[in-house]
Structure 1
């Protein structure tokens, strides 16, 4: 309740509630953290500073834990400079720990000031604290975001030299960053580096690698990892693995292979979700398949797996049906989503209204116009 009132910028009511909680001895340090975060989020960071200064009057110590909460609040609200000024004062009587410096590393990186983050690591070492893989991975992510890949390699070498070995999350982050910028070979080079380092692979790494290879059209390699490598390394596929593989096959118009994956996951009691079926439905429209095939997929979704269609799925179906000229069915789905109080996107309304107008479906056009007016007046 404190958090929600602060989020709604109802600060007076938030403070009334806090005072009530204090009278009953229910205020915790977590409560203080929520108050600080909402004050800073409302631009009242000076009030957040004052709250920390008055912490002892509320029965809490100004210690390392409370200082970290205070600094983390300021950094997450993009007030890292203010947090730094406060720390320069506080460090004389409150000893920092590794988490203190990790907060600043994350804050500087979020502000795209990686040099300050690197300097923070040196300061950390002067306090006798050792940077962790999380510390370095935060900076690596920032370098990746700025496409500074030579710095990525240099920092990886530095980590190894210092005995702080990158973990699977570090490598997966870098691999995805290379792939997202079109550097496929560099991404696969990271995979080789990762395996040669003896780093233990996990499901998130494999899911990412399958997706990268699939998007690059290297379907055979993706399928080999899916069918053989994961099992060989004792990694059990999850829903995301199956969804990724189905999406890849659908993107390459290999419907039967995608359906085979769906059948396999069902046999292994891995329940599909809407994300499983969307690529299959999209492929149906792309291949302009018969209505009964789409009906069959929808029947499995709703009756077999008890999935309830959401906005994205209704949108896909309505747009797909318009693309193949089945406006009547599209209008039925449109009416169905309205009946379920799912508000359609404006572009969906415009598309369906245009298509219905061309087929002289005047009643449908009027219904869509009514919905659009209601959407326009929704605050």
Structure 2
């Protein structure tokens, strides 16, 4: 298995396409739950804070964008919820106005499986559609052309893993790990700094693209202020197991140590303080609402959460692209075998009732 890539280089990753057993469309129920949880918060924000009268509806439709749409069907559910809520606001606030037309843009990297996405479009949809390929860390749309941005479970992906993680002379050298779960403070700080850089670009681009009075909703894996990422968090547990499994494959000489040590997951689980600071530094948006929602996974998924096939489905559908681009396409089967063996060992005495995830729902308004 050859590797000619460095974790220091920007790289773009997508979820598994198609409709197979390890496709994102068949392994994204947790992400769907996030959309369901955030719906009442979004409805309230649209009703109270979306400035319909400031939109020039005579010449333009309402433009809705889903950033990081993947392959569906979750993106269709999110868009329909937003569309229904905007229509309801029109009926209650501007009853004499004809309901506008809607243009929905589905955004993801150019390697995303847009074929599967568009093949599964709802046949009775009440909106026009277009794909917009590209990274949301940069500009995607003309200035002042979007009324509503939505992104769920996407902005935690960094443009790249922090460079310090692979520097053996750095205090942030992440030896033996692939993430910052239970890592040194310097490693956590490096991830936070990279997230800050990426959010600066993200918010600057969205600030130019969205109209004054428009809203942006970000739902992302979060963690409360002052709490470290640990094995009691599903993200922490996943990446701890992934890192341990890769190091075991080094011992078995399936991959070499250099390959393993140069690999770090480009994902950051943000806390409210870090995200609020990024928004305030940018200056284009006002925080309408920021709410952290805790979920005990066993309550939501029952015994399914203890089934290792559930974890393998998540590992492959979400992370297969980033893993195989670094280690080669032949690694996944043996990695999943090792992952399963490690999971069985680590979770022997694991209290599944303590496995808690958090979703941070953020409503931002373009105010100037």
| TM-score higher than 0.5 | no
- Greater fraction of residues in helix: 1
TM-score interval (norm. to shorter): under 0.3
Q: Which has the higher contact order (CA 8 A, sep 6+)?
A: 2
What TM-score do you get using the length of structure 1 for normalisation?
A: 0.21
